């Protein structure tokens, strides 16, 4: 498969001012260096859907910005579609798109359709084709009726959907998304995930996504790059990440009557507690024994078995340096 993103020993450092007295800060300013991205390397093949996962300040967005040419790397090399992004060549920019969940590229005072007219000019698109694409995308994202409303009158979910339409109007080869479902409700998130999955599968568009929402990662991407403190901690299929934790299982025990926590703790570590429900963690090879014992000794109504959730895996990983 064709490699369209190649990153080698990439680093990015920022200088930030050190807090001093007012006079000192003017005449003898001091700066300290923050390492946002620390010597990372990876490649992405055409058609992949890759997620960057990590806690706040991990370096995900900084990496994304270097891939799109917004930031100059401090050291190392990055090539996207055989171009150095910071050169910002027309042919390169024509093939990529960037969507940022908390930033808007559409005019606040005008309708989305009017903004798309501007994009149509910028991307030199055929008017009929562009309108057809807008109509099609708006229908999939269920925002056809909102195309002619001013952006300021749309909900957050609708606005983001319009941003997505504006971003992929020109059929880019790679779509970079930074927290695309930030602040959205469950239904809107589901719509957007389905849309991204469809775009990836049907059009072969490469998706690079950063998110804190594990469902974004699980539903849209097949590969995850975990970044923490600027370094890559994991880079492989999501299945292999969850596979590492296969030795542990979560049992959700639903009781017919109240049971004391001490009784439940005899069978495993209590992770979560709700009325009549406990979730415990057990070793994978002991789950059958535990289920049998719990069923015999406690007033069980139902038992649910799950793998360790992705957010628990992340919390575990981010706890380590």
Partner 1 sequence: MKRLEFKKSIKLRWKIISSCTMFGFKESMAYSLNNWGNLLSMIVYMITYLIFLDVLFGRVKMIAGYGYTEMLFFTLIVQINYYLLFIITQVNTERLDTSINTGELDLWLVKPVPALWFVSFRKINLGELLFGAFPATIPLLVILSGKWSVLNMSFGGVMAGIIFIILGQIIIHCFVFMIAMTAFFTGEGKHARNVGVELSIFGDSIPLEGYPKFLKYIGLTIVPFLVHTALAVSFFLGKNTNYYYLVYVFGLAVFFLWLKTVAWKFSLKHYSSASS
Q: Contact between 87 and partner 1 (CB under 8 A)?
A: no
Q: How far apart are CA 209 and CA 313, in angstroms?
A: 19
Q: Can you say how many angstroms the Cα of residue 158 is from the centroid of all Cα atoms in its chain? A: 19
Q: How far is the CB of 136 from partner 1 (least distance, A)?
A: 22
Residue 43 phi/psi, 5° resolution? -130, 155
Question: Could you say which residues in the range 105-124 bind partner 1, by CB under 8 A?
Answer: 105, 107, 109-110, 114, 117-119, 121-124
Per-residue binder mask for partner 1 (CB under 8 A), 172-211, x = binder: ----x-xx--------------------------------
Q: How far is the CB of 122 from partner 1 (least distance, A)?
A: 6
Q: How far is the CB of 102 from partner 1 (least distance, A)?
A: 6
Q: Contact between 70 and partner 1 (CB under 8 A)?
A: yes
Whichever of 24 and 103 has its CB closer to partner 1, that residue is 103
Q: How far apart are CA 236 and CA 60, in angstroms?
A: 16
Q: Which of these segments, 39-47, 99-107, 235-243, 246-254, binds partner 1 (CB under 8 A)?
A: 99-107
Residue 303 and residue 251 in contact, taking contact as beta carbons nearer than 8 Å: yes
Q: How far apart are CA 221 and CA 298, in angstroms?
A: 40
Q: How far apart are CA 204 and CA 283, in angstroms?
A: 40
Read off the tokens for 317.
Answer: 């990983």
Alpha helices in the chain (DSSP H): 22-27, 60-67, 90-93, 112-122, 127-140, 156-168, 186-203, 214-220, 238-243, 261-265, 287-297, 310-318
Q: Which of these segments, 92-100, 228-236, 261-269, 304-312, binds partner 1 (CB under 8 A)?
A: 92-100
Question: Could you say which residues in the range 224-263 bind partner 1, by CB under 8 A?
Answer: none
Whichever of 123 and 318 has its CB closer to partner 1, that residue is 123
User: If we measure between CA atoms, which residue out of 278, 240, 284, 238 comes closest to residue 258?
Assistant: 278
Q: Which of these segments, 17-25, 85-93, 198-206, 229-237, binds partner 1 (CB under 8 A)?
A: 85-93
Whichever of 55 and 309 has its CB closer to partner 1, that residue is 55
Specify the 3-state DSSP secondary structure of 89.
Answer: coil
Binding site for partner 1 (CB under 8 A): 14, 61, 65, 68-72, 88, 90, 93-94, 96-98, 100-105, 107, 109-110, 114, 117-119, 121-124, 150, 176, 178-179
């Amino acid at each position: 498969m064709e490699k369209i993103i190649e990153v080698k020993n990439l680093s990015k450092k920022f200088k930030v001012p050190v807090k001093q007295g007012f006079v000192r800060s003017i005449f003898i300013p001091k700066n300290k260096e923050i390492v946002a991205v620390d010597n990372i390397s990876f490649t992405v093949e055409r058609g992949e859907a890759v997620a960057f996962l990590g806690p706040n300040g991990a370096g995900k967005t900084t990496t994304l910005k270097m891939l799109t040419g917004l930031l100059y790397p401090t050291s190392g090399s990055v090539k996207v579609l055989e171009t150095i992004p910071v050169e910002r060549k027309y042919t390169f920019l024509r093939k990529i798109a960037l969507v940022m969940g908390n930033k808007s590229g559409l005019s606040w005072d005008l309708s989305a359709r009017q903004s798309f007219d501007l994009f149509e000019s910028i991307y030199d698109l055929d008017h009929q084709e562009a309108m057809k694409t807008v109509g099609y995308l708006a229908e999939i994202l269920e925002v056809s009726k909102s195309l002619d409303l001013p952006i300021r009158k749309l909900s957050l979910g609708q606005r983001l959907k319009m941003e997505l339409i504006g971003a992929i109007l020109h059929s880019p080869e790679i779509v970079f998304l930074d927290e695309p479902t930030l602040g959205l409700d469950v239904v809107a998130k589901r719509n957007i995930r389905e849309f991204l999955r469809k775009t990836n599968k049907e059009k072969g568009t490469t998706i690079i996504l950063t998110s804190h929402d594990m469902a974004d990662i699980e539903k849209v991407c097949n590969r995850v790059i975990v970044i923490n403190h600027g370094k890559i901690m994991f880079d492989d299929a999501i299945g292999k990440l969850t596979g590492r934790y296969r030795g542990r299982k979560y049992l959700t025990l639903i009781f017919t009557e109240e049971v004391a926590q001490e009784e439940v703790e005899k069978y495993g570590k209590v992770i979560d507690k709700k009325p009549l429900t406990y979730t415990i963690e057990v070793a994978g090879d002991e789950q059958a024994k535990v289920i049998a014992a719990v069923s015999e000794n406690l007033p069980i109504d139902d038992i649910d078995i799950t793998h360790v959730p992705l957010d628990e895996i992340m919390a575990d990983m981010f706890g380590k340096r």
